[in-house]
Amino acid sequence: MRFLRSYIRFVDEVNYRIGRIAMYGLFAMMAILLWSIISKAAFSPSLWTLEAAQFAMVAYFFFGGPYAIQMGSNVRMDLLYENWSLKKKAAVDAITIFCLIAYLFVLLWGAWASFSYSIEYGERSRSIWHPYLWPIKLALVVATILMIAQAVSEFFKDILRLSGETPPGRNPGDQHDDPASRTVGEETGR
């Protein structure tokens, strides 16, 4: 059980920090699009802004994935799930997580093939800007590996819950130091 706890702590901390940094990717994308608007209005339009904004959005989305899994922000059918006990939730999650892991391995296989192709042939975008595509494809590979690691961490948490232990780290529903997770009543003390 010590290995499970160490793995959970390590992966959760890495993905928490990367997820918090990835949140600011939205601001980077907004800045790129703002520059696009200003450059079109004030002088000649920038050729790189639309594609750079798309790259920023892809990185934001994929590097936010492990964080979303960790925080329990992923979509699930709460119609039945919400009324179940913690042990029943853990048992169902421990089984269904294998569907997610299988999907992520297929995604990783495709991402790796695409990244390898991009490196081997020097693949570039067909736009006027003509950037290399391997950096964003590498980001997809790295983010998918982080999502797999987080899914395994969630599986280990479910094993600990099923054995009656409380898993370490940030768990969905825990009250931790993240102000974004607080409700209005908690902020005002009501």
Domain boundaries, the chain: 2-171
Q: How far is residue 170's CA from residue 160's CA, in Å, rounded to a whole number? A: 14
- Would you state the pLDDT for residue 163? 84
d(CA 162, CA 115): 39
Q: Is the dihedral of CA 41, 45, 49, 50 positive or negative?
A: positive
Angle at alpha carbon of residue 95, lines to 23 and 80, rounded to 5°: 80
Q: Which two tokens stand for residue 89?
A: 């939730």
d(CA 93, CA 141): 25
pTM value? 0.79
Tokens describing residue 102: 């299988």
> What pLDDT is recorded for position 184?
43
Q: What is the mean pLDDT of each run of 10 residues along the chain (190 residues)?
A: 87 91 87 86 80 88 89 73 80 86 96 95 88 93 95 90 78 46 42
Angular region, 122: left φ>0, alpha ψ -120 to 50, beta rest: left
Beta carbons within 10 angstroms of residue 8's beta carbon: 24
Question: Could you tell me which of 109, 72, 113, 114 has the C-alpha nearest to residue 93?
Answer: 72
* Helix, strand or coil, per DSSP, at residue 78: helix
Which pLDDT score is estimated for 179? 43
| pLDDT value of residue 171 | 57
Backbone angles phi, psi at 176, to 5 degrees: -120, -170
Q: What share of the chain is helix, strand, coil (3-state, %, to 5)?
A: 75, 0, 25
Query: What's residue 83's pLDDT?
Result: 79
